[in-house]
């Protein structure tokens, strides 16, 4: 391998330094979960953003990923995953795969990840990026607001796009004690956590956010895929 070339997983020394700085930054923002910090230290975010933006991959900012969509900022990913209480061995549903970076964080934490994306080019790009970094996840092309009933219930559901109200199908697919993180609102949005206890579902407001809208369709899109 020549100087400056990327390895499949770790990247160049420069990217590794940037990644370490990002982890320190997340610590200062209050992220305490060691497994999650390790996942940020391990997953090469630069391989999930367009090549021209790789130099900015380890800044704590959202970045465009094509099709008018964005990869959320590392702080938002950390907050969502921590507040969902994701642990190794849990079954997690992600709505809005996007570039697949959060998918990779969840899988690196040891979760069994199911992720749905409605834009075919992003679904395919995420499958390629996940295969490149050697992360396994179950990917589907389609409308994530319907959830993945065949694989339910889920210990955690993380929705990456904003909705006027949390989709009923997703709340139904939460396991006992399961938590769903979802941005709710239009121009003004708040991140919410919904928690199932028996037939009761409680909710709490976490913080103000800004996400792209969740596009709900009436039927599923094309086929299923599997990241390797």
82 lines the binding site for ligand SAM (CB under 6 A): no
Using the minimum distance from each CB to ligand SAM, give the nearer residue, 133 or 214.
214
Using the minimum distance from each CB to ligand SAM, give the nearer residue, 144 or 178.
144
Q: How far is the CB of 67 from ligand SAM (least distance, A)?
A: 6
* DSSP H helical ranges for 90-181: 101-108, 120-133, 168-172
Binding ligand SAM by CB under 6 A: which of 15, 40, 58, 101?
101
Task: List, in order, residues 6 or more apart from 51 with CB less than 8 Å away.
Answer: none
Judged by DSSP in three states, 205 sits in strand
Q: What whole-number distance in Å separates Cα of residue 96 and Cα of residue 66?
A: 14
Candidate segments 23-31, 53-61, 186-194, 207-215, binder of ligand SAM by CB under 6 A: 207-215
Using the minimum distance from each CB to ligand SAM, give the nearer residue, 18 or 143.
143
Q: For residue 191, which phi and psi values (nearest 5 degrees)?
A: -85, 130
Q: Tell me if residue 72 is catalytic.
A: yes
Binding ligand SAM by CB under 6 A: which of 47, 86, 116, 156?
116
The tokens of 152 are what? 């339910």
22 lines the binding site for ligand SAM (CB under 6 A): no
Candidate segments 36-44, 64-72, 104-112, 131-139, binder of ligand SAM by CB under 6 A: 64-72
Q: How far is the CB of 189 from ligand SAM (least distance, A)?
A: 12
Contact (CB, 8 A) for 137 and 105: no
163 lines the binding site for ligand SAM (CB under 6 A): no
118 lines the binding site for ligand SAM (CB under 6 A): yes
Pick from 44, 58, 50, 57: which is nearest to 6 by CA? 44
Would you give the end-to-end CA distance of the chain in angstroms?
A: 23
The tokens of 211 are what? 């996400």
Binding ligand SAM by CB under 6 A: which of 215, 223, 226, 228?
215
Maximum Cα interatomic distance, the chain, rounded to a whole number of Å: 58
Contact (CB, 8 A) for 44 and 133: yes
- 72, 80, 115, 145: the active-site residue: 72
Binding ligand SAM by CB under 6 A: which of 39, 135, 214, 225?
214
What is the rounded radius of gyration, in angstroms, for the C-alpha atoms of the chain? 17
Q: Which residues bind ligand SAM (CB under 6 A)?
A: 69-72, 77, 94-96, 98-99, 101-102, 116-119, 122, 143-145, 160-161, 211-212, 214-216
Active site residues: 72
């Amino acid at each position: 391998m020549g100087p400056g070339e990327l390895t499949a997983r770790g990247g160049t020394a420069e990217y590794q330094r940037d990644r370490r700085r990002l982890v320190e930054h997340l610590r200062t923002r209050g992220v305490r979960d060691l497994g999650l910090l390790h996942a940020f230290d391990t997953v090469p975010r630069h391989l999930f953003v367009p090549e021209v933006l790789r130099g900015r991959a380890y800044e704590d900012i959202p970045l465009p990923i094509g099709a008018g969509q964005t990869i959320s900022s590392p702080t938002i990913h950390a907050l969502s995953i921590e507040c969902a209480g994701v642990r190794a061995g849990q079954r997690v549903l992600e709505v809005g795969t996007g570039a697949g970076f959060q998918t990779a964080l969840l899988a690196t934490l040891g979760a069994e990840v199911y992720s749905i994306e409605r834009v075919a080019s992003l679904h395919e790009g995420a499958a390629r990026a996940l295969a490149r970094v050697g992360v396994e996840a179950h990917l589907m092309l389609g409308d994530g607001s319907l959830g993945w009933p065949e694989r339910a219930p889920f210990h955690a559901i993380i929705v990456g796009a904003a909705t006027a109200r949390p989709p009923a199908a997703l709340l139904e697919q939460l396991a006992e004690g399961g938590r769903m993180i979802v941005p709710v609102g239009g121009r003004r949005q708040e991140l919410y956590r919904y928690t199932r206890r028996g037939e009761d579902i409680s909710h709490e407001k976490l913080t103000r956010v800004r996400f792209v809208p969740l596009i709900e369709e009436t039927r599923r899109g094309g086929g299923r895929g599997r990241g390797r």
